[in-house]
Amino acid sequence: MAKEKKGRAIALLPIVVFLVIFLGTGFITGDFNSMPAIVGFLIALFVAFLQDRSHNFNEKIHIIATGVGEDNIITMCLIFLAAGGFSGAVTAAGGVDSVVNLGLSVLPSGAAVVGLFIIGCFISVSMGTSMGTIAALAPIAVGISEKTGYEMPVCIGAVMCGAMFGDNLSMISDTTIAAVKTQGCEMKDKFKENFIIVLPAAILTIIIFFVLTSDIQYEASGDMSYSIWKVLPYLVVLIGALIGFNVFLVLAAGIVLSLIVGVASGSIGLAEIFKVVASGADGSGGIMGMYDITVISIVVACIVSLVKEMGGIQFLLTSIKSRIKGKKGGELGIALLAVLVDMCTANNTVAIVMAGPIAKEISDEYGISPRRSASLLDMFTSVGQGLIPYGAQLLSAASLTRTTPYEIIPYCIYPMLMAVSGVVFILFIKNRKAPNIKGEGENL
């Protein structure tokens, strides 16, 4: 058996440096755009290279290359590019305008933002990816904001909330799969446990969004025409997700259909079909619009690889485990572990994979059912991922709507309430024992 790597608090220095530079610059200047995230991450990566003295330069390159080459990182980057392509094509084809006009024609006044959240929940549960949901709904959020007068951060905040709902609950989400596999339970058991915990948060989120936007009454004005044909790409994406198709196939089908509809309706010239996929109708979207977030994800993976190699992640794992007392303490420990590791990795799937084995030890030692520990792992990594300004979801949402993560975070109501609901269940709701906890994971 390989010797366990010793945890070292100082190994977290690159992450601390990034947070100090990135957040500090924003507070000092009053402009959180004054320090581009990629610059802050490159400085942190430089610090990590200097700090790791146990490997030569070539060995460090191998370590970060291995980290970047992990399945989750490559998958995430490809989803970014596919989502950007779909966003560019469907917007150029007029699909966004048609969906917005259709929605505003059907929804009662004051319910558009609530509708964004509910639709986001539905799509994200179906697709199993928060990134795909954000890519599909962000352009619609922009259109609703422009036509109703709702502030852009409120609209995209509703999309973020819906996206994180499904990221946590979907049966085909990689976070759900990782949580279930590491804790040894069945997906249906984890879903039931998880859904009960987050349902109050979802209901309260609907109420809060309704109250926040109830004082803004709008009347659909101007050109409110829509074409069902232009809405078709969105319907295909949604239905494909419901059937359970792979997210790449769904987005690819959405791109192709958007181009066909755009060309047939005259919205896209035949010579422009590749251009709109690459850069959108205005030259600032499409695949090229996702380059920044893709590069950031690669650099973050490099930093995490070195931090992990130096024992930073292991320090968090062992520190939390050593301070746990009792069953409630064990559940709180799993929750804290999930949030902290996610903050360090900026990837909730990676965080679950890293924290999973320790969470399993904690649940076994204190009699916590596997479905409860899997739910807590998935929930609290989603809490962190939905609120950290350098996470892929917020960066993508900001990029697609030309806002900043800091403008959106106050309206990421669901992740905040999910944390509150999770803590309330840990402290006051008794953990139900599964009929056969020992064998819960046998049918995986």
pLDDT for residue 59: 93
pTM: 0.69
C-alpha 189/C-alpha 63 separation (Å) is: 37
How high is the pLDDT of residue 421?
Answer: 95
pLDDT of residue 103: 67
pLDDT at residue 444, rounded to an integer: 31
3-state SS, residue 286? coil
What secondary structure does DSSP assign to 380-392, as a single string?
HHHHHHTT-TTSH
**What is the rounded distance in angstroms from the CA atom of residue 31 to the CA atom of residue 48?**
27
Instruction: Give the residues of the chain that fall short of pLDDT 70.
Output: 1-5, 30-33, 72, 76, 96, 100, 103-104, 107, 109, 126-128, 172, 216-224, 238, 241-242, 244, 247, 284, 293, 430-444
Name the burial class of residue 71, with classes exposed (0-12), middle (13-18) and buried (19+) by CB atoms within 10 angstroms of its CB: exposed
Q: What is the pLDDT of residues 271-280, one digit of tens each?
A: 889 998 998 7
- What is the pLDDT, as a whole number, of residue 434? 43
- Measuring CA to CA, how many Å separate 401 from each of 163, 233, 285, 374? 15, 20, 10, 33
